[in-house]
Amino acid sequence: MSAELSITPQAELWARYSAGLYRNEELGFSLDLSRVNMSPSEQSAIAEMFPMAFSAMAQLEAGSIANKDEGRMVGHYWLRAPQLAPTPELEADILQAIFDVNAFCQAVHAGEVTGSGGKFTNVLLIGIGGSALGPQFIATALASSHDKLHMSFFDNTDPDGIDLVLSSLASCLATTLVVVVSKSGGTPETRNGMLEAQAAFQAAGIPFAPQAVAITQAGSKLDQTAQSEGWLKTFPMWDWVGGRTSVMSTVGLVPAALQGLDIDSLLEGAGQMDSLTRVPQVKENPAAHLAMAWYHCGQGRGSKDMVLLPYKDRLALFSKYLQQLVMESLGKELDRKGQKVNQGIAVYGNKGSTDQHAYVQQLRDGLNNFFATFIEVLKDRQGDSIEVDAGVTSGDYLYGFYAGTRKALYESGRDSITITVNEVNAHSVGALIALYERAVGLYAELVNINAYHQPGVEAGKKAAAQILALQSQAVEVVVSNKASLTADEVAKLANASDVESIYGILRHLAANPSRGIVRQPGKTPAEDRFGKL
Ligand SMILES: O=P(O)(O)OC[C@H]1O[C@H](O)[C@H](O)[C@@H](O)[C@@H]1O
């Protein structure tokens, strides 16, 4: 196949590009599938599946219980078109939340709401998954020297990672606004981050509650904590917004507005893309183009990985953001009929041309198990560029590397999609997010899965809870025994059968001296002995 492709005449490729390019001048956006080796007949076969996908999306937008397993509506599209919400109450809730976000952030910027050290200078956002990835992506994509507040994140329960962020905030904790984000309000990593931040405030003698903001569903554990401790502010989150599609809700709007970003433009860009991707004709709909290409490349089974190559540093976190959006939405064991399908599309990537010096070698010459998505940004920078060679700028190089890689991949029979935007700004970032949200929704309909639940995540959470329960049993046995014990002996005394887990727990504790446990290494893990320090 690659030999055939490599001899496709340039003129034919140019004609295919020109005739097939989806573009919208007003939005400053185009989508090119000319380097996806999909014949017209294959295109029409996939296009025939779309009417039912369009109608499912229309029902979803009209307020159907699209997430049947969890009995929920799926309403992230209403966030940028509140008039489309299925009830006047929901419309009013969305508008009120946007109003409150603006009012609060204006008061912070104006110094009407302050920290104990005066006007806020920093934001520490604590969240994980959909409650961190979107805010992090937007913060990085749209950062500038005019940012009103400096952004930091706790997005994990890694003590060392937390310390690193805290050390960077040490001199400005008294002017740091802490925003704790959790839709469910009960996610352990986020709760731990909140407790770590509270401890740091306490150690510095700064009251935490007057500098803390919660974003969560009414009545959640986090909501209760915020209420009972008298936190500065609580913003609502709704059950009809999924975590991975929550970036246009208070989850993404509060941090973005605090940073000083143009949230109206973000919502407008998303809303404009929503209008284009609502169109029920494949040819006219860029999200349908994308979903069609995904279906073709992976044969509707996700057999090829999606490699994201944005040629713009600001978009480096987009692949991380899309990893959750795509993989948590599409990675499902069962289809809607309950049949085992093990669907999904693996997503990875970072940025071009950096990745050309890392893994692009394999993309070009190695396993052909992927399709690439290039993101090209036409505007190089604000202001002019110097020439790095006669008549050539750094931006020309970046373009050259993108175009060259696209060509080289095509010549070795590897499919690629190119998305082009005029520039990276709040409007185009909103549009890109909306494009992928819709493409994921449409693709999920094509393969008949529920894109809006995440049953698999629960298994890991339950297993983690079991390990933590086992830890207290194991510690009790070790500290109440005079002699040191092997993991097998600890397991026996704790009445537990999972010796390997006990070994792992004790080895971890022994590596942290303040936990009071020592390890005497034996020849093998089974011969290691654990005792009181
Ligand atoms: O916002 P939270 O309720 O804290 O959830 C944070 C994240 O954790 C979960 O495990 C889900 O799989 C994600 O979809 C979610 O975004």
Active-site annotation holds for 328: yes
Identify which of 70, 128, 437 to mutate to test ligand 1's pocket (most ligand atoms within 8 A of the CB).
Answer: 128
* 204 C-alpha to ligand 1 centroid (Å): 30
* 461 C-alpha to ligand 1 centroid (Å): 11
Q: Is the CB of 129 under 6 A from ligand 1?
A: yes
Residue pair 369/304 in contact by the 8 Å Cβ criterion: yes
Domain boundaries, the chain: 10-62+280-453, 76-261, 456-532
Catalytic residue among 328, 437, 445, 489, which?
328
Per-residue pLDDT 10s for the chain (533 aa) are 444 444 578 999 999 999 999 999 999 999 999 999 999 999 999 999 999 999 999 999 999 999 999 999 999 999 999 999 999 999 999 999 999 999 999 999 999 999 999 999 999 999 999 999 999 999 999 999 999 999 999 999 999 999 999 999 999 999 999 999 999 999 999 999 999 999 999 999 999 999 999 999 999 999 999 999 999 999 999 999 999 999 999 999 999 999 999 999 999 999 999 999 999 999 999 999 999 999 999 999 999 999 999 999 999 999 999 999 999 999 999 999 999 999 999 999 999 999 999 999 999 999 999 999 999 999 999 999 999 999 999 999 999 999 999 999 999 999 999 999 999 999 999 999 999 999 999 999 999 999 999 999 988 888 899 999 999 999 999 999 999 999 999 999 999 999 999 999 999 999 999 999 999 999 999 999 999 98
SS3 content of the chain, % helix, strand, coil (to 5): 55, 15, 35
Query: Phi, psi at residue 409, to the nearest 5°?
Result: -65, -45
* 373 C-alpha to ligand 1 centroid (Å): 26
Catalytic residue among 68, 283, 357, 407, which?
357
Of 311, 285, 428, nearest to 374 by C-alpha is 311
DSSP 379-407: ---SS----SBTTB-HHHHHHHHHHHHHH
* 16 C-alpha to ligand 1 centroid (Å): 42
- 108/85 Cα distance (integer angstroms): 30
Helix axes 426-446, 133-141, angle to 10 degrees: 140
CA-atom Rg of the chain in angstroms: 26
DSSP 266-333: HHHHHHHHHHHHT-S-GGG-HHHHHHHHHHHHTTTTT-SEEEEEESSGGGTTHHHHHHHHHHHHH--S
CATH of domain 76-261: 3.40.50.10490
Ligand 1, residue 131: give the atom nearest the CA: 1
Identify which of 320, 457, 462 to mutate to test ligand 1's pocket (most ligand atoms within 8 A of the CB).
Answer: 457
Ligand 1, residue 127: give the atom nearest the CA: 4
Active-site annotation holds for 357: yes
Catalytic residue among 461, 476, 500, 508, which?
461
Give the CATH class of 456-532. mainly alpha
Q: What's this model's pTM, rounded to 2 decimal places? A: 0.96
Active-site annotation holds for 461: yes
State whether CATH 3.40.50.10490 applies to domain 10-62+280-453: yes
Tell me whether domains 76-261 and 456-532 share a fold: no
